[in-house]
Chains A and B, each alone.
Chain A
Amino acid sequence: MLTKFPGSKKPHSSLRRRILQGMLALPAAMLLSHSALAASTAEVNTTGLAVTDSTVKVGILHSVTGTMAISETGSVQAEKLAIDQINAMGGVLGRKIEFIQEDGASDWPTFAEKSKKLLVNDKVAAVFGCWTSASRKAVLPVFEQYNGMLYYPTFYEGLEESPNVIYTGQEATQQILAGIDWVVKEKGAKSFYLLGSDYIWPRTSNKIARKHIEKLGLKVVGEEYYPLGHTQFNSVINKIKLKKPDVIYAIVVGGSNVAFYKQLKAAGIDMTKEKPLVLTISVTEDEILGIGGENMVGAYASMKYFQSLDNDNNKKFVEAFKAKWGKDIVIGDVTQAAYLGPWLWKAAVEKAGSFDIDKIKAASPGIELTTAPEGYVKIHPNHHLWSKTRIGHAQLDGQYKVVYETKELMEPDPFPEGYQ
């Protein structure tokens, strides 16, 4: 009921076909060389984007200053890595990708200004960027008005489906439903305490969680929100102790996490005992760096990617990421999703045979990526990704151990019926 089949054998057969195609195409492309491709710039770019015979310009728009810089830096690094790798493979339609980086400065109006600059002034062929919902909401009208293409990496609340955006992170139902089903089935959870930072993502996510929990015939014993940056969680921790829920469902965001998990531990709630069990959708490996592995050990997280994921794609990705950005770096869910952006764009451009935004929009649904670190992903007609959801168990070293993954890809459903 929760997952749908993307076509059971398709990934494999298409992978084989793609490899074959690739092998055939390689020598052919070498023979054709630049001159043949160069002649067609007018063809592959009919709307005046910044595409030349040998290069194509794209934009990277994240906060590298201000409060969000800590979270968004990983995304910038992942996007740059992907661009490097694509260039090393010969670029997109024979053109090397050049990026123009702009700073959103953790300030939504600045995001709007810079996105307009990238689209109107620089005429970039695609933008990889934004992190918070607020920044995406600020740039969305700009992308729709000037017809740009945005690859947005963060897991978010859904309720949006723009033809000008490819959402490479999970929308709320993908992240939430599988996680709750898992704790109910595997851990026998019957009561939940919902907790979050006070803005649209945690609120919408908890709304979906509550509906789902109530549909399963189980109970929500409390629901509370605190402003971003809040650091006093003692009163809610006392309430939790009083109500004794089976699960604390926590969507605390940013710096507040540090205070929340430390105070939870100080209040004598040992998460490794799982009484109550803590399930979060907001703490990636990046956040654990700040919280400290010893304060987080024992908690569960439900998202689509963990650095410890055991597959060849991911091993290569982690290795390349560390080689480029330092060996102590950690990679969270959003960083991986950001890494997908340039690859999905490349696939769409090649499928469309053009850099034109309208053709990329039309070509995007159905695009598959077999080389994604998270495994196989595919773009749904609603411009979100089919992806698996996984449960990670926080370890002392700040990494998650993957304890469960959905058998099938979860269908993205940004406007879930019955959950609004």
Chain B
Amino acid sequence: MSYHGFKSYLPQQDLLGFALLAILLLVIFPLSMDIFRLNLVGKYLTYAFVALGLVLCWGYGGILSLGQGVFFGLGGYCMAMFLKLEASNPEATKIQSTPGIPDFMDWNQLTELPFFWQPFHSLTFTLIAVIVVPSIFAYFIGVAMFKRRVGGVYFAIITQALAAILTILIIGQQGYTGGVNGITDLRTLKGWDIRSDEAKYILYFVNVAILFLCLFAAQYVRKSKLGRLLVAMREREDRVRFSGYDVSNFKIFVFCLGAAFSAIGGAMFTLQVGFMSPSFVGIVPSIEMVIFCAVGGRLSLLGAVYGTLLVNWAKTSFSESFPELWLLAMGGLFIAVVLAFPNGLAGLYQTWVAPRVDKWLANLKTPRPLTTNPLESRS
């Protein structure tokens, strides 16, 4: 990509936003927080992957999915299966009736490892599966829905049903999945203890690095012709169709991309938190993730990250201060967000900060026309 090409994908103001976020995540947070808090931030950032996918699907493509937890969960479970197999070596599980299989299988009278667990002995397979399994799943849903022009509210309801179905499946098949408890007590990755403070620092930085890769990928989509088409589809789907585009293919693509982002988040979650449970797959967490995206501003990639951080930080600190009333405080926050700034944090930024930054940028160099706004507002 030439320099000019690069510039058109990442205009000056966006570049500034990315740089500020990088400084915040890579310098300010690690220097100002102990490892416990930093690990929490790392956990929040794994949800940011989902919110990022939602910005593309919902904010740009107009596809509201209330089942992103499904993909987060699939990614997380793939990673958890690998880690669990490593933690269940015959040495560590010798008190079981069948040593060498995960503990919950032993409790459920399974005597050998089910066939679909076998490939998860391999890290390479696992890493591929983390992205491919959810993407293929999203592809099938996408084909089934979008080719038949199912959209809008109906699509949202169906994704919600999927989240409910997968939760019930995981809980019901506890011998194969760990049931309600989830897959717990994950210890090492290829012999590397993921529970140590050092590992948590490294995982945090790996997480931030991957988040930035996803941010750049999303930015690329947003600025490319595909991004324009998505906005066009969101506004007037018929016109795009009449112009000769196969609308459903674009929708399927962006839905799969959102699923892949979510799955990466899920896998990073498992690594940093040390377990995976069906409570991330269901309807409630899926809707929560939409809220992160809405608070950040559903048209802003960086907003998704800030929104996720803000909501989760509020959740943690409210619940630490008022263990019995914190849910009300969270409710209050959401109502305030919707009433006071419906376009989320990004909307606030755009109204109050962006004009000044533009002026400052313009003054800094020779006067020239303003660059395109980073947040294509609908108004």
Contact = CB atoms under 8 A, between A and B. Distances in A.
A159 interface: yes
Contacts of B274: 112, 141
Nearest to B186: A141
Interface residues of B, number: 38
Contact of B179 (A121, A145, A199): A199
Contacts of A137: 181-182, 184-185
A303 B189 CA distance: 42
Given A200-B104, A200-B174, A109 B323 contact: no
B195 A141 contact: yes
Contacts of B135: none
Interface of A is mostly: helix
B373 interface: no
A276 B185 CA distance: 42
Nearest to B37: A121
A109 B277 contact: yes
Nearest to A160: B103
Contacts of B95: 415
A3 interface: no
Interface in B172-197: 172, 174, 179-182, 184-187, 195
B273 interface: yes
B323 A200 contact: no
Contacts, number: 96
Interface stretch (A29-37, A86-94, A97-105, A372-380): A97-105
Nearest to B187: A141
Interface string B312-327: 0000100110011011
Nearest to B276: A109
Nearest to B277: A108
Nearest to A136: B181
Interface string A191-234: 00000001110011001000000000000000000011000000
Interface string B87-106: 00000000101000001100
A140 interface: yes
A199 B180 contact: yes
A227 B282 CA distance: 15
Nearest to B284: A107
Contacts of A207: 109
A50 interface: no
A38 interface: no
B248 interface: no
Contacts of A198: 171-172, 174, 179
Nearest to B108: A203
A134 B185 contact: no
B179 to A, nearest CB: 5
Given A109-B279, A415-B95, A121 B174 contact: no
Interface in B258-296: 273-275, 277, 279-280
A103 B320 CA distance: 8
B181 A112 contact: no
Contacts of A116: 36, 39
Interface string B299-336: 00000000000000000100110011011000000000
B133 interface: no
A161 B138 CA distance: 42
A200 B107 contact: yes
Name, among B36, B39, B43, B280, the residue most crowded by chain A CB atoms within 10 Å (CB to CB).
B36
26 contacts: A64-B324, A103-B319, A109-B279, A112-B273, A112-B274, A113-B40, A114-B319, A116-B36, A116-B39, A117-B36, A133-B181, A134-B181, A137-B184, A138-B181, A138-B275, A140-B185, A141-B185, A145-B195, A157-B107, A198-B179, A200-B179, A203-B174, A227-B168, A227-B171, A227-B172, A420-B97
Given A108-B277, A134-B181, A141-B195, 16 more contacts: A102-B323, A108-B182, A112-B274, A121-B36, A132-B180, A133-B181, A134-B180, A137-B184, A138-B184, A138-B275, A141-B274, A198-B172, A199-B171, A200-B104, A200-B179, A203-B107
